[in-house]
Chain A
Amino acid sequence: MQAGQAEADETARKALATFSETYWPPLYTFVRRRGYASADAQDIVQGFFVHLFEHNTLTRADQKKGRLRTFLLGSLQNFLLKQRERMSAIKRGGNQQLVSFDLHLPETEAAMQATAHLDQVSCYDLAWASTVAKRSWQQLHETLVGEGKAQWFDELKPFVAGGGAVPPNQEEVAARLGVPVATLRTWLSRLRQRYRELLRAEVASTVSNPADVNEELRYLHRILMA
C-alpha cells in the first residue's frame, strides 16, 4: 500500500515537474518584465508553482479554466499582488526546487531582451506561443525518432525551420537523397500534416472547450507573426 502511494506520489511529482518546465519560460518572462531581477524572478516563479500545486489550483481550475494561458497569467498576477503574504511561499519555493530551469534560463533571457519593446502581457503571450510551437515541434521530432526516421526528419527540417540557415534548394536536396523533387514535396506535405495534428493537440490541451482550439491557434499565430 505504502509502495503504491510512493509510486503515485512519484508519478504526480513527475507530472508537476513536466508542467512546470513547460510553462516556466512565459511565466518567468512576465515576472522579469515586471521589473524583478533574474534571481528574484526565478524564486517567484518557483514559489508560484509551489503555490499552485499546494492549493491544488490546477485541478480545481481544470474544468473551468477556459484557456490555460490566460488562467496561469491571471493566477500569477494575483500571486504577485499578494507577494508580501507570499514571501514565505517564495522562500519555500526557492528552497524546495520542483525542477531546475537552468537549461531554459539563457534562451528565455535572450528572447526577453530581444522583445523589450513589447508590453508585459504581449511578452508573456509571445513566450507562450513559442512554448507551444516548441513543444509540438519536439513531439514531432521524438515521434519520428521513435519510428526510426530521425535522419529523414533532419533532411526535411531545414525546409521548415528557418533560423540561422538559408532555406535549402529542393532540387539539390532531392538530388542528394536520390528521389524526384515531387517526392520531396510529398514528404514535406506529410510532415506538415503530422506537425499540424500535433500543434492542434498541443493547443487543445490548453483549452477546456474544444471549440476554442481554432481561435486560440489563430491568436497565437497572430502574436507570433506580429
Chain B
Amino acid sequence: MSERTDRAKSVTESAESNNAVPFETSIPADALPLEAILCTEELRRRPSRPPDYEKENRALATLARALAYSPRTILQTLAETILDITQSDSSGVSLLTPDGKRFYWPALAGRWTPHIGGGTPRDFGPCGDVLDRNMPLLMRHWELRYTYFSPISPPAEEGLLAPFYVGGKAVGTIWVVMHDARRKFDAEDERVLSRLSEFASTAYQTLATIDELRFQISEHQKAERAVRVTVCPKCGRPLTQVGPDGECLRCVFDWGFTSETEGSEDPTHSGVEPRPLNYGHFEIEMDAHGVPIALGAGAMAVTYRARDTILNSIVALKVIGRKLAENPTACARFLREARAAAQIQHPNVARVIHYGEQDGECFYAMELVDGDTLEERVKRDGPLPVSLALEVIEQTARGLAAGEACGVIHRDLKPSNLMIESDRSGQPMVKIIDYGVAKVMASDATIQTQAEFIGTPAFASPEQFDEAGQQQIDTRSDIYALGITFWYLLTGRTPFASRSIEEIRTKQTQQLPLEQLKSVHAPAKVAALLKSMLAADPARRPQTALELLAAIHRCYPRFESAAHRRRKRLASSNRRTRRN
C-alpha cells in the first residue's frame, strides 16, 4: 500500500516535471483518421453481460474506504478497482496538467503499471479525442493512428475510455485496455466505467476542496501567527520579549531578580519544585532558597545534610551518581562494603547507619560529624602543631585498627575523609568518613572520572598504582595514605606533589623531601615515624594498625600521657554508651 502511495505521489511529480519530453504535439496530417480506429457503436451491438450489482457495490465500498482512510491514493484504488471489475488487462487514469497541454498518468493498474508517471501531449493520444468529443469512446489498435506514440508495450488491442470530471469540467479520462482479443468490451463495461468515474470524480473533487480549505487554513494560521502573541509556557506571560535563542526574557530577568529580594523567592521560577527531596525515610534539608544543603561533593557522589524522618535526627546522606548505580557489579560491591563498614563501631569512625536504593540512585546515611574535614582545617588555619597532628594520626590509627578487626580497609584515606570535631570536654575528636565505600568508587576503572582520579593519587600507596598488585592491598596501604596525610597536616602539602601520576610514582621510590619537615621543626622521631609509614615497600612499614599505634606512642613521650588521659575518657564514654 505504501509502495503504491509512493508511486502515486511520484507520478504527479514526474509528470509535472516531464514537460520537456520530446513528444509529437499534434496528430500529423497523414495520420489514420480517428474513425478508422473508433468502434464505439459496437458497444451497442455486442451482447452485453448482465449487470453484477453485488460486485459493483463491493467496488464502490472499496473506493469509499480508500477515500476515508487513504484519500491520497484514491486514483490508484480506482484504477485497480476498474481493472478488477472489468476483467481487463490494463487500466488507468489520465489527468491534464494545469496548463492543459499534457496528459499524465497518475494511476495505472495491470500490465501497463510500469508506465506509471508517464504521459502524452494533449492532442497526441486517445484521451484528447475523448475530451474533444466529451463522451466515452471505444478504440481498437490506437497505435495505428497515434503513430509516433511513445513505445508502450504491450500495444492495445482494444481500449474503452470515459471522461473524468471534476467540478463539472472534464479534466482527464479513465480507461481500460485489452492487450489481446480474449474479450471485447461491452455496454456493461461502459456503464460501470461511467459509474465509477462519477464516484471518483466526486471523491477527487472533495479532496481538492479539502486541499483548498487546508491551504486556506494554513495561510490563515500563518497570518494569525504573525499577529498573535504566543504565551510563554513557563511564566504564562505574552512571549514578546525574546532572547537570541527564543528565551523568554521575562523569565530570565525574573529568575535573576527574585533571589535578590528577600521573601519573594519562588523555587518554581528556576524549575525547582518546592516539594522535599526524599531518599527512603531521609529528607534532604534545604536552605532558605529551596536549595539542598550539600556538605561535600565529589565526582561520583554528593553528601547532603538530611533528616531521618523516623528518629528525627540529622544525618549525612551520601547519594551516588546514576552512572555508578547503573553498574550492577559496582552496586553489589558498594552494598557489600557499606555492610562491612556498618560493622565498625568505633568512636573514631563515622558509622554507616542505612543503605538504600531509589529510582536508580544508591544512597547511604551515616553519622553526621559536626566539624571540618582536616583538609578544610589546614587550608583555613595552615599546618597543625605537631602535637595535634600526632593526636589526629593516633585517633585515626585507632579507627583503622577497628576496621582491621572487621576485615575492612579504607583505601582512600586522605585529609578530606577525616573530620575533626570537639568532644564534650572540648578535646579534638577525629572521625574517619566514607569507610570502605571509597574503595568501590576508586576501584571501578570504568566509571572513574578524570576529576576523581586526580584528587586521590597524591595519597595512594605505590602498590595501589601497580595493577598487578591490586589484589594485595591491605591495611599497609591505609598506613601509607595516613603517612601522607600526616605529612600534609604538618607541612600543608603532600611530599610528592606532582601533576602526573607517573611523576608521583617515580618520586615515591626516591628519597623523601625531609627538608620540608625540618622547616616545620618536626622532631626526629616524627620524621622517623613518617619514613617508616611512607616506605615504598609495604613490608618495611608498620604491618598492622596496632603496630602503627605502638610506633606513634613511642615517637613522642609527652603524647603518652595525653593519649592515656584521652583513652581513659573514651573508655568511660564507651561504658556509658553500653549501659544506655
A residues contacting B by CB (< 8 A) are 107, 110-111, 113-115, 126-127, 129-130, 132-134, 136-138, 157-168, 170-171, 174-175, 178-183, 185-186, 188-189, 192-193, 195-196, 198-200, 214, 217-218, 220-221, 224-225
Cα A186 to Cα B461 with chains together (Å): 34
Which residue of chain B lies nearest to A176 when distances are taken between CB atoms in the complex?
A: B322
> Do A224 and B245 contact each other (CB < 8 Å), given the known contacts A114-B240, A182-B292, A182-B294?
no
Q: Quote the shortest CB–CB distance from B322 to chain A (angstroms).
A: 5
Mind listing 23 A-B residue pairs with CB under 8 Å?
A110-B240, A127-B241, A129-B241, A129-B253, A133-B243, A134-B243, A134-B249, A136-B256, A137-B249, A138-B243, A161-B248, A161-B251, A163-B239, A163-B243, A164-B246, A168-B271, A175-B360, A180-B321, A186-B297, A199-B253, A200-B260, A224-B250, A225-B237
When A137-B243, A162-B248 are in contact, do A178 and B323 touch as well, CB less than 8 Å?
yes
B455 to chain A, nearest CB (A): 17
**Contacting pair B241 A133 (CB below 8 A):** yes
- Smallest CB–CB gap between B234 and chain A, Å? 3
Determine whether the beta carbon of A160 is less than 8 Å from that of B321. no
Asked if residues B250 and A114 are in contact (CB atoms below 8 Å), the reply is no
Q: How far is the CA of A58 from the CA of B346 in the complex (A)?
A: 71
User: A107 and B249 in contact (CB under 8 A), knowing A178-B323, A188-B270, A189-B291?
Assistant: no
Smallest CB separation, A116 vs chain B (Å):
10
Chain B contacts for A161, CB-based, 8 A: 234, 243, 245, 247-248, 251-252
- Contact partner, A182, options B241, B271, B304, Cβ 8 Å: B304
The 0/1 profile, CB within 8 Å of A marked 1, for residues 209-239 of chain B is: 0000000000000000001011011110111
CB < 8 Å neighbour of A175 from B234, B244, B271, B322: B322
When the two chains form their complex, are residues B260 and A214 in contact, meaning their CB atoms are under 8 A apart? Answer: yes
The CA-CA distance from A132 to B227 in the complex, in Å, is: 25
Contact of B248 among A138, A163, A192 (CB under 8 A): A163
Is A192 in contact with B259, judged by CB distance below 8 angstroms? yes
How extensive is the interface on chain B, given as a class? 35 or more
Closest 8 CB pairs of A and B: A162-B234, A159-B271, A162-B248, A161-B247, A162-B251, A114-B240, A133-B253, A130-B241
Q: Is the CB of A180 within 8 A of B302?
A: yes
Q: Does B257 contact A (CB under 8 A)?
A: yes
| Minimum Cβ distance to chain A for residue B276 (Å) | 11
Residues from chain A with Cβ under 8 Å of B273 in the complex = 170
Contact present for A196 and B260 (CB under 8 Å): yes
Given contacts A166-B233, A182-B294, A189-B291, contact A195 B247 (CB under 8 A): no
Given contacts A113-B227, A167-B234, contact A182 B252 (CB under 8 A): no
In the assembled complex, which residues on chain B have CB atoms less than 8 Å from the CB atom of A218?
257, 261
| 8 Å CB contact of A107 from B242, B326, B360 | B242
B183 to chain A, nearest CB (A): 63
Is B254's beta carbon under 8 Å from chain A?
yes
| List of A residues within 8 angstroms of B252 by Cβ | 133-134, 137, 160-162, 195
Q: Closest CB-CB distance, B370 to chain A, in whole Å?
A: 21
With a cutoff of 8 Å between Cβ atoms, the chain A residues found around residue B284 in the complex are: 182
**B369 → A minimal CB distance (Å):** 20
Does B359 lie at the interface of the complex (its beta carbon under 8 Å from any beta carbon of A)?
Answer: yes
Q: How far is the CB of B224 from chain A (nearest CB, A)?
A: 13
- In the bound assembly, the distance between CA atoms of A175 and B110 in angstroms comes to 56
Does B497 sit within 8 A of A, measured CB to CB? no
Q: How far is the CB of B108 from chain A (nearest CB, A)?
A: 46
- CB B290 to nearest CB in A, in angstroms, measures 8
Is B272 in contact with chain A by the CB < 8 A criterion?
yes
Residues of chain A lying within 8 A (CB to CB) of residue B259: 192-193, 196
CB distance B260 to A188 under 8 Å? no
Q: Which residues of A contact B359 (CB under 8 A)?
A: 171
Instruction: Name which residue of chain A comes closest to B292, CB basis.
Output: A182
Query: Chain B residues with Cβ under 8 A from A134's Cβ?
Result: 243-244, 249, 252
A115 to B240, alpha carbons, bound, how many Å? 7
Q: Closest Cβ of chain B: how far from A127's Cβ, in Å?
A: 8
**Residues of A contacting B409 in the complex (Cβ-Cβ under 8 angstroms):** none
- Structural contact, A165 and B260, CB atoms closer than 8 A: no
Q: Residue B191 at the A interface, CB < 8 A?
A: no
Q: A200 — which chain B residues lie within 8 A by C-beta?
A: 260
| B288 nearest CB across to chain A (Å) | 11
* Cβ–Cβ contact A114 & B229, under 8 A: yes
CA A110 to CA B245, docked complex, whole Å: 15
**Residues of the A chain whose Cβ atoms lie less than 8 Å from the Cβ of B271:** 158-160, 167-168, 170, 188
Q: Are A199 and B257 in contact (CB under 8 A)?
A: yes
B253 proximity list for chain A (CB < 8 A): 129, 132-133, 199, 220-221, 224
Residues of A within 8 A of B291 (CB): 185-186, 188-189
Residues of A within 8 A of B256 (CB): 133, 136, 192, 195-196, 198-199
Distance in Å: Cβ of B563 to nearest Cβ of chain A: 40
Min distance, Cβ A224 to any Cβ of chain B, angstroms: 5
- Give the chain B neighbours of A132 by CB distance below 8 A: 253
B270, A111: Cβ atoms under 8 Å? no
Contacts of B235 in A (CB 8 A): 162
Instruction: List, in ascending order, chain B residues with CB within 8 A of A130's CB.
Output: 241, 249
| Cα separation A127 to B241 with both chains bound (whole Å) | 8
Residue picked from A111, A159, A162, most chain B C-beta under 10 Å: A162
CA–CA, A217 and B260, complex, Å = 9
A224 surroundings in chain B (CB, below 8 A)? 241, 249-250, 253-254
Closest A residue to B326 by CB, please name it: A178
List A contacts of B227 (CB < 8 A): 113
Whether B84 is near chain A, meaning CB under 8 Å from some CB there, is: no
Q: Which residues of A contact B304 (CB under 8 A)?
A: 182
Contact between B302 and A126, CB atoms less than 8 A apart: no
Task: Specify which of A161, A165, A193, A199 lies most central, judged by the most chain B CB atoms within 10 Å of its CB.
Answer: A161
- A217→B261 CA distance, assembly (Å): 10
Query: How far does the Cβ of A137 sit from chain B's closest Cβ, in whole Å?
Result: 5
Closest-CB distance, B348 to chain A (whole angstroms): 29
What's the Cα separation between A175 and B359 when bound, in Å? Answer: 9
- How many angstroms from the CA of A175 to the CA of B242 in the assembled complex? 29
Considering only CB atoms, which chain B residue lies closest to A195 in the complex?
Answer: B256
Contact indicator B247/A183 (Cβ below 8 Å)? no
Q: Once the chains are docked, how many angstroms separate the CA of A13 from the CA of B229?
A: 38
What A residues does B195 contact at CB under 8 A? none
B residues less than 8 Å from A157 (CB atoms): 245, 247
Question: Complex Cα distance A6/B361, Å?
Answer: 62
A167 to B236, CA, bound (A): 12
Q: Which residues of B contact A137 (CB under 8 A)?
A: 243, 247, 249, 252
Does chain A have a CB within 8 A of B149? no
CA of A178 to CA of B232 in the docked complex: distance in angstroms?
29
Contact of A160 among B240, B251, B260, B277 (CB under 8 A): B251
Most buried by A among B240, B254, B271, B291: B271
Residue contact B302 to A182, C-beta cutoff 8 Å: yes
Chain B residues with CB below 8 A from A198, complex form: 256
User: Which of B232, B242, B246, B321: most chain A Cβ within 10 A?
Assistant: B242
With both chains docked as a complex, state the minimum distance between the C-beta of A167 and any C-beta of chain B, in angstroms: 5
